[in-house]
A and B are shown apart, each in its own frame.
Chain A
């Protein structure tokens, strides 16, 4: 997040400089991913992106063209992702009142629902595209283009600053936040490839034009909110108006002092505390050092990364004061955890840096609170609430965190955690992560080895599942120290993580290591000809909601039809089809139809997807962290690490609900006239800008739904889905689809 309201002001004052793109020739440009995305997706680009979910449709095309320019100029981009949120950033999310971003979302959704083809964007300059949902797929795109990236431990800007100072990069493409960062003179604000120039901010020039000292600039920025400190402090409590950079700038120019004003506020020092934390976070933000240490740049720890080999007693190098050297005269305060958050081990930050991220879990562990805010549809369905707050969900979440904390300092293992939902006011839930014995021990025997397979493939794993297979994979604990227990290939690591996740979620009987009824259903997924991960997720969905009612599935909906008989079927089909991805989507600035109920349904699945993904990653991290004897992890280079991460299942966000929207429009027509070809022609025409042949994709989606229906039928037979209405509707819908497919064939 940039310094709020500053950028337009800088343009207004003409302090943004232009430069021909040629200047960047041969440069290594460090790019703040969040800023890059916000540049690509300005409010006007893909205004409905958040309303349909998924990855921006034009992202790949835009990146292709950008990278082509980079290549022509021999520019090497390095993308730097933001990492964990610091304490102050996290506490911004822990507000019971609705955040400004959510308010925007709500407002835009209301307009979108009430007015057809309302094209206001969910984004505004101060709340750009959220990076985390698209992060993994973005990494995938970068990897496919052989572009290097790194996830910083905390702020991307601090990491960029460090990399610049270490001469790894020549310049930085980032947001206005960089004006706060020391040692960065120029910041590329935007690159206009078409006009062959880029805009940049010259710090000294801006300060002199604004007539502000760096301290005054920082004070103003800390008051109006920025990437390091997101709160907007209203330092004039009697004035309800918003604090903007312009207003505070004038205030300072007129002899006002932000600092003195903050000191004088009557809010029990809360604002001043936020200010202090923001300034301190900016100053002491830990960065990932070249040697792998994560520490503030003022400190240079030269402790050995090895534990003492003979004794086996953990070397407390991290806290050993003798090995810590300050590299500058700046003193580092002892209570950095107050404004940064508690410290996690360097190895964990390394896994994070290569993309093995478990942001939510780590943040929960560090900040003692799991924050759950509303999904992008800004509405709370019962399914979503249950997915977050049901006892089962809380239990699994606790177990996942236990898994992660197990390898960490004992402090984390006994830390009291809570989950707070901020759906409508705040509600607290207890999150139990203290377990004895730790969950890792009960999962540990499950270890999948494969002699030949190197890379992971979900279908391969699912098709080989059987009780025999499990028995083979289970290693008695006493033997766990032998050489056989070492797993190192991608296949072994990911399969083991996934199987342990299945165990965690109750597909496998604990202790016996045998599949239960749910686990048996896994095998039928392997037979899917379309998307086994999609089916696995659907299976997981039914597993999560054993007492699913029909109304949970159908409501809400916005499909309008007078055909009572098939309406419910059409709704059901559309919702499940909407979770299915479309191939070969055009790169189009989608500004057309949206459907809030479809997005709400997607939100449930997306949440489930990320929960599972988090559990898989926790398992993998636990494996890696505790795989002390594994030599392979020291041998992997960056590209091999990336490959491992990119093969992980459940890592990327779900596709957009576009197919569901197409399906709904199809049914709205088809249920009226039952003219298949006409209806197909109609959707082909109205969605031709999205896809060359929407009907073909829809038919593919229908076929996939048939597999879902088949899975539901199987689950019904096994007695895993008890609600007869649900089973019946699926059967009817399956028939209905059958009819259509046979007609179309």
Chain B
């Protein structure tokens, strides 16, 4: 028998008895980052595939969620920093070995890109803006030519905005390629951020990158199911979601196979989820409610059972994705090397 105790000198509340440096901010950000990455991926993919005309909702309207998700995620990240006023230092350097540096620069690229993407479709989504509020009308006057009557046309007061808008619409396809690639980097990065830590056995597995990317794409597909207006579009994303859920289940099984075939500490890690304290939250809430039940419901819908509202499986997928990140971040900090 072996007993190991820190007997004096250390009573650091965030390190002992186990590490707890990352709280709710990081999993929330990982979820929102993955969600935004997925939404932007689908939008970019649709533009590359068919100019976005076939599935307008996921190309033009759901991307509006992405900038908000990214900004809320960034605020959460800022709140996580113990010295948020110094966060500009992330952008004075690029550290090729640091996943967090990659993430900071990727967000710097993706966030403005998503805003420009959404802005370039506003004219199409809202052909006529009208408002009863005087204050908004006054603000409109700053931007648009005719803003005094009830209906405002998108005639910019300033030429450079018009030119920029035309430029963005012209280069939409190259922009879609850039967004496709950067959204994949963002989605994978949400997993790599954790898997880069040798010291935390639960996180230190290369499968986390693809797993988080798949989960992010799956939650994004669920959002598209909720917002889809036509049956055709909803069915398409149901199909995509089914494939993604199956891949995710496959990756989760592989993750645990890898742990159980690993060294002692990896086996102990797996046991937290196979009989340990995270068994019920993980297998019932994340895998059961968040993956298996949506998989069954979505498959039933494709088979022709339309009694279940489409929002039910989609909401379960989204909640499952959020819980998955919370559990992974929390559990990862509990298990550590033994010596």
Partners in one complex: no
